[in-house]
């Protein structure tokens, strides 16, 4: 099968209570594609400016990521700055500079249009919808977003939600979109909009999946020290869909396993700044954590 991921590639400045890192590489597309690359060969759709290092694109290629859909435009790469307090689930966005994304109109290559699975990663919903409209007959579509678009592009965001099979969101976003405080009610309300599965990420408490026919919960891999939570959600989505692309099956059992692989990939991301930890994993690192989560949730 084949997986196409659209999302942001960004210079992130991140401040945690312990450390500040300036202009490290992040963005939803970077995290999701790297996480998915351990299961399949994702094709990415994104744009960077002329200030973006060529070596990073080479690294993506070395990981088996197809970067033919990555445009390089004159101007600055997307920039984002975020700050975490003592609770890693609470983040404040200090700055968002869309830069080269402002004019971005992706034109999918012919083989990208044949994608089986499409991840509309965090990016303007108008771009998500544009990409989706170009893919001919995807078997599975999924999306993620971030507060910025809930606050600034709400109507277009609702259009994206209506058109996808899976909606990934954290508990705060899901409550904000639906106006519900109860997560089950919020999940069910989102199901009514169109998706057949809502995956709600709840930090160290793991994820809750609400489908038309089933509800499932999964604990996150236990981690006592979170270095940088940025990208956990995107890594989850990349691992989840990368696994589904590999097994080519979307039964309930596959979705449950995909949620474990998603949690595993997110657990690595938060153990270092940016994409660092995601760049250097082995299959045995991933399988070991998969088994550890399996033991934790079995009864
Ligand atoms: P997450 O922690 O999974 O929500 O993802 C954080 C990543 O999203 C960071 O690497 C940011 O660069 C990226 N990001 C932040 N704001 C935006 C935005 N408005 N559009 C697209 N990507 C963003």
Per-residue pLDDT reduced to its tens digit, 250-279: 999 999 999 999 999 999 999 999 999 999
Nearest CA to ligand 1 atom 18: 123
Write the DSSP symbol of residue 230. T
Q: What's the pLDDT band for 203 if we cut at 50, 70, 90?
A: confident
Strand 3-6's sheet: what is its strand order? 70-72, 43-48, 3-6, 117-120, 140-143, 166-170, 197-201, 207-211, 215-218
| Mean pLDDT across 158-175 | 97
What is the C-alpha to C-alpha distance for residues 97 and 11, in angstroms, rounded to an integer? 10
Closest protein CA for atom 10 of ligand 1: 27
Q: Is the CB of 122 under 6 A from ligand 1?
A: yes
SS (H, E, C) 174-227: HHHHHCCCCHHHHHHHHHHHCCCEEEEECHHHCEEEEECCCEEEECCCCCCCCC
Estimate the crossing angle of helix 28-36 against helix 252-269, to 10 degrees.
120
CA of 78 to the centre of ligand 1 (A): 10
**DSSP, res 166:** E
Is there a contact between 68 and 275 (Cβ–Cβ < 8 Å)? no
The pLDDT confidence band at residue 202, using thresholds 50, 70 and 90, is very high
Quote the DSSP letter at residue 68.
T
Residue 39 region by backbone torsions, left for phi larger than 0, else alpha for psi between -120 and 50, else beta: alpha
User: pLDDT per residue over 80-114, tens digit each?
Assistant: 999 999 888 889 999 999 999 999 999 999 999 99
Is there an atom of ligand 1 within 6 Å of 46 CB? no
Q: Tell me the CA–centroid distance for residue 148 and ligand 1, in Å.
A: 9
pTM score, whole prediction: 0.97
Distance CA 228, CA 275 (A): 10
Burial (CB count <10 Å: 0-12, 13-18, 19+), residue 144: buried
**Ligand 1: distance of its center to the CA of 299 in Å?**
36
pLDDT of res. 131: 98
State the pLDDT at residue 89.
83
- Pick left, alpha or beta for residue 113 (phi over 0 → left; psi -120 to 50 → alpha; otherwise beta): alpha
């Amino acid at each position: 099968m084949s997986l196409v991921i659209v999302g942001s590639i960004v210079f992130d400045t991140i401040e945690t209570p312990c450390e500040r890192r300036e202009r490290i590489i992040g963005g939803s597309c970077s995290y999701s594609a790297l996480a998915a690359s351990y299961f399949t060969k994702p094709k990415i759709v994104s744009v960077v400016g002329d200030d973006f290092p060529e070596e990073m694109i080479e690294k993506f290629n070395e990981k088996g990521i197809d970067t033919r859909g990555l445009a390089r435009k004159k101007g600055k790469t997307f920039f984002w700055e975020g700050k975490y307090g003592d609770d890693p689930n609470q983040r404040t966005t200090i700055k968002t500079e869309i830069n080269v994304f402002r004019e971005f109109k992706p034109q999918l290559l012919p083989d990208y249009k044949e994608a089986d699975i499409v991840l509309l990663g965090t990016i303007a919903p108008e771009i998500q919808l544009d990409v989706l409209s170009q893919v001919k007959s995807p078997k599975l579509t999924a999306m993620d977003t971030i507060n910025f678009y809930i606050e600034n592009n709400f109507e277009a965001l609702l259009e994206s939600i209506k058109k996808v099979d899976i909606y990934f969101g954290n508990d705060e976003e899901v409550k904000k979109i639906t106006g519900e405080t109860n997560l089950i009610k919020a999940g069910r309300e989102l199901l009514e909009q169109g998706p057949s599965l809502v995956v709600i990420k709840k930090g160290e408490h793991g994820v809750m999946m609400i489908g038309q026919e089933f509800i499932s919960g999964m604990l996150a891999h236990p981690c006592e020290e979170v270095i940088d939570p940025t990208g956990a959600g995107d890594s989850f989505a990349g691992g989840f869909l990368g696994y589904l692309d590999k097994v080519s099956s979307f039964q309930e059992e596959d979705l449950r396993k995909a949620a474990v692989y998603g949690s595993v990939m997110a657990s690595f991301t938060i153990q270092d700044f940016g994409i660092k930890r995601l760049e250097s994993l082995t299959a045995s690192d991933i399988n070991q954590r998969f088994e550890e989560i399996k033991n934790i949730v079995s009864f």
